[in-house]
Amino acid sequence: GPLDEIRTKVVAQSGGLIVGERDVCRVEECPMGNLVADAMLMRVKDQGMDIAIANSGGIRASIDEGEVTMGEVYTVLPFQNTLSTFRVRGSDVIAALENGVSQVEEVAGRFPQVSGMSFAWDASKPAGERIVEVLVEGADGFAPIDPEAMYGLVSNDYVRKGGDGYDVFADDAQDVYDYGPSLDLVLAAYLVETGPYEPMTDGRISKR
């Protein structure tokens, strides 16, 4: 009974279908990926985090237009992952993105959805050499990532610990905190704050 009450609780409104299907989110920028990554970054931006990377394998459903229930949020994010914050060099971010686009042909869950940054990749190049541009958003707009600079990054604890091939975070992350709030609660809170939510893509991931 109490669980049903939680699942049926309306937490937000959506102005349209928020696409989160695997055949979309695991190969390109998708509305649910943007929503999840934006929610993660906004939660910890005041802690000095610059960018967010979410693995598309953690996104499991779309949300229909209209009322959004907590049950729908749980269906999108069923794994009870927690927010993880850490610091890495720009070169590590590039390596992480290379991993993210390395198995697109297999529609693998490692494909990265991002916030606070944009990247372009070339599918014709071999895995490990596909990232052709990375820009990070700052006070003065977007600028090329500095491979030597340190960046604050937020992801989920599964990715931070090396899940979906993100070994670079497990090996090189500094100032790690893996015990943030659960991702489903972060998403629900963001929908409440920004609602009614309008699904969108804005070109933050491009294919060349």
Give residue-wise pLDDT tens across range 105-129.
Answer: 999 999 999 999 999 999 999 999 9
Residue 183 in tokens: 């991702």
Query: Residue 6 pLDDT > 90, yes or no?
Result: no
Over residues 45-52, mean pLDDT: 97
pLDDT tens readout for residues 89-108: 999 999 999 999 999 999 99
Whole-number percent of the chain with pLDDT over 70: 100
The reported pLDDT for the residue numbered 4 is 85
The reported pLDDT for the residue numbered 3 is 81
What is the band of 2 on the pLDDT scale with cuts at 50, 70, 90? confident
Q: Torsion angle, CA of 54/199/132/153, rounded to 10 degrees?
A: -30
Please report the beta strands in 58-111, taking only residues with DSSP state E, as ranges in sequence order. 66-69, 83-89
pLDDT tens readout for residues 171-199: 999 999 999 999 999 999 999 998 899 99
Query: Residue 1 pLDDT > 80, yes or no?
Result: no
Backbone phi and psi for residue 171, each to the nearest 5 degrees, phi listed first: -85, -40
The reported pLDDT for the residue numbered 45 is 96
What is the band of 5 on the pLDDT scale with cuts at 50, 70, 90? confident
* Proportion of the chain in helix, strand, coil states, percent, rounded to 5: 35, 30, 35
Stronger pLDDT, 5 or 83, i.e. the higher one: 83
Mapped onto helix, strand or coil, the DSSP state of residue 173 is coil
